[in-house]
């Protein structure tokens, strides 16, 4: 009965959101309808690159993020953690096709799009003005992959303790009331923050520093605070069960990020090349910065530290990847490695919240820092937008304004959505389910069915005391402050 109530409430809530959002988004008199051109404008080279980029970005969620996250949890929660990423690939795709794409990219008001493209009406082979040399369907699908991974990033904050039904309800609601408005404001025609469409606050965000990383990272922190800590957090060992899986996941994320950032050029040209090089160098320098800082502070460089730094660097360069030069990208990468190291260690432990897999510590911190630094290091010769280093200090103010808008929307909407979800489904699993693990409790299966289970000495890792040299409050050995 509880599951049926959650499912019916989810359907009713989504329908209500569709009515409210659609009715609240009349086309502004100053905003013309999205222009659709002729199929003869399609460029086969650009289309081939964007098809590849679309596949690369999907690769980031499954298997990239799924493996990265599942390796960091305890073995009794490995499938539940992977399931969150996988099911969002399906659920978000359905909602995006029905209404999400239209709310994000149809012409509407400065804050939300209209319903012209609902049910993919009018989305065909002919290019639209957002990407004039590729089919409209490819542009829509490419943007879908961003919509998939963004709520999936939030899962890292509530890992090992949130109900599956609540994950679905919160994530779909969040897609509609946070992600779609943010995508419209930053990238949509006439958007409030769109620098290329006369936005009120012309913020620069090439591939999702605000739309993806700030929104998901800040929302993740709200989730961590409202759900509370995992059972036994700070008293028992919660070490990653397989850093090997996380390394594989991080490597896939790194490869997929080329589609994420370089694909945002929307063509197979020089801008895509610059964005790809910037992305790679920022990830590399951030990995080294985190590794050496960790080595200095703890005496040991770890694989988990290296991959955490790489993800931090890839995230922090995202908003600037198509606006800056490779050398400035390396500077941004170093800052990303250092800032996120402290965001995932000192800050988290100072305030005592349980951001299980450091969704805020990495994505929230890197998103805010990267978005602001775009206003510092943007170079006009790259993409016709300048920052402080190129004589336009005002861009930093625009970036700060965009950050504040993103944070405010993410905090307020996430709080309300979690309250609604809690009243309908409840947020946390029971103590018994958390004790036994979400794999068995929620999904009735386990990740490791070994005939001679080498782990069978204890089914509950919470009963295993942490080694004397590892403080039990730290869930990731690479993230221990000195």
Q: Domain map of the chain by residue range?
A: 42-424
> Does residue 468 have a pLDDT over 50?
no
For the segment 20-26, the average pLDDT, to the nearest whole number, is 53
Stronger pLDDT, 234 or 153, i.e. the higher one: 153
Alpha-carbon distance of 241 to 469, in angstroms, equals 18
Please report how many Cα atoms fall inside a 13 Å half-sphere around the Cα of residue 77, on the Cβ side: 34
Residues 6+ positions from 345 with CB-CB distance below 8 Å: 361, 479, 480, 481
Alpha-carbon distance of 440 to 298, in angstroms, equals 36
Tell which residue, 361, 366, 368, has the closest CA to residue 475. 361
Under DSSP, is residue 162 helix (H, G, I), strand (E, B) or coil? strand
> Does residue 141 have a pLDDT over 70?
yes
Token pair of 131, please? 């990407």
What is the per-residue pLDDT across 267-315, written as a single tens digit (0 to 9) for each?
999 999 999 999 999 999 999 999 999 999 999 999 999 999 999 999 9
Alpha-carbon distance of 288 to 334, in angstroms, equals 8
CA 311 to chain centre: 11
Count of positions (residues) in the chain: 482
The reported pLDDT for the residue numbered 482 is 34
> Does residue 462 have a pLDDT over 60?
no
What is the per-residue pLDDT across 348-386, written as a single tens digit (0 to 9) for each?
999 999 999 999 999 999 999 999 999 999 999 999 999
Q: How far lies 151's CA from each of 3, 146, 292, 323, 365, in Å?
A: 22, 9, 31, 26, 17
What is the four-CA torsion angle of 219, 220, 225, 231, rounded to 10 degrees? Answer: 150
Alpha-carbon distance of 268 to 359, in angstroms, equals 32
Question: Which pLDDT band holds residue 257 (cuts at 50, 70, 90)?
Answer: very high
Quote the percentage of the chain above a pLDDT of 90. Answer: 85
The reported pLDDT for the residue numbered 380 is 97
What is the per-residue pLDDT across 194-225, written as a single tens digit (0 to 9) for each?
999 989 999 999 999 999 999 999 999 999 99
Q: Which residue has the tokens 């919160």?
A: 170
Contact 280, 258 (CB under 8 A): yes
Domain 42-424 adopts which CATH fold? Ammonium transporter fold (1.10.3430)
């Amino acid at each position: 009965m509880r599951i049926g109530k959650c499912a019916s409430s989810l359907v009713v809530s989504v329908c209500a959101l569709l009515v409210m959002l659609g009715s609240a988004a009349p086309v502004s008199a100053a905003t013309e309808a999205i222009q659709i051109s002729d199929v003869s404008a399609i460029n086969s080279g650009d289309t081939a690159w964007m098809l590849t980029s679309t596949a690369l970005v999907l690769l980031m969620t499954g298997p990239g993020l799924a493996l990265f996250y599942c390796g960091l949890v305890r073995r009794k929660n490995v499938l539940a953690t992977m399931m969150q990423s996988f099911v969002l690939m399906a659920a978000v795709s359905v909602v995006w096709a029905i209404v999400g794409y239209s709310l994000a990219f149809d012409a509407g008001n400065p804050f939300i799009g209209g319903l012209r493209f609902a049910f993919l009406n009018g989305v065909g082979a002919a290019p639209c003005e957002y990407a004039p040399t590729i089919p409209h369907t490819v542009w829509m699908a490419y943007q879908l992959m961003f919509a998939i991974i963004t709520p999936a990033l939030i899962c890292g904050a509530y890992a090992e303790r949130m109900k599956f039904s609540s994950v679905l309800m919160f994530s779909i609601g969040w897609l509609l009331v946070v992600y779609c408005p943010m995508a419209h404001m930053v990238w949509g025609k006439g958007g409030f923050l769109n620098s290329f469409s006369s936005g009120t606050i012309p913020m620069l965000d090439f591939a999702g520093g605000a739309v993806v990383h700030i929104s998901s990272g800040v929302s993740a922190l709200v989730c961590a605070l409202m759900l509370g800590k995992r059972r036994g957090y700070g008293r028992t060992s919660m070490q990653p069960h397989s850093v090997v899986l996380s390394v594989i996941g991080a490597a896939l994320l790194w490869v997929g990020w080329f589609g994420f950032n370089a694909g945002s050029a929307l063509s197979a040209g020089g801008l895509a090349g610059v964005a790809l090089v910037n992305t790679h160098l920022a990830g590399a320098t951030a990995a080294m910065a985190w590794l050496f800082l960790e080595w200095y502070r703890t005496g040991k460089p770890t694989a988990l530290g290296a991959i955490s730094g790489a993800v931090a660097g890839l995230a922090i360069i995202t908003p600037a990847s198509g606006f800056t030069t490779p050398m400035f990208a390396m500077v941004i990468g170093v800052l990303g490695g250092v800032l996120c190291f402290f965001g995932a260690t000192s800050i988290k432990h100072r305030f005592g919240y349980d951001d299980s897999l450091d969704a805020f510590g990495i994505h929230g911190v890197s998103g805010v820092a990267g978005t602001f630094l775009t206003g510092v290091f943007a170079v006009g010769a790259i993409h016709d937008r300048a920052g402080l280093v190129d004589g336009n200090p005002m861009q930093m103010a625009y970036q700060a304004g965009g950050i504040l808008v993103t944070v405010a929307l993410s905090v307020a909407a996430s709080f309300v959505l979690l309250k609604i979800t809690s009243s309908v489904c409840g947020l946390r699993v029971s103590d018994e389910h958390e004790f036994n693990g979400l794999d068995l409790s929620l999904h009735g299966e386990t990740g490791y069915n070994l005939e001679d289970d080498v782990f069978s000495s204890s089914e509950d890792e919470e009963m295993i005391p942490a080694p004397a040299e590892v403080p039990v409050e730290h869930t990731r050995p690479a993230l221990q402050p000195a």
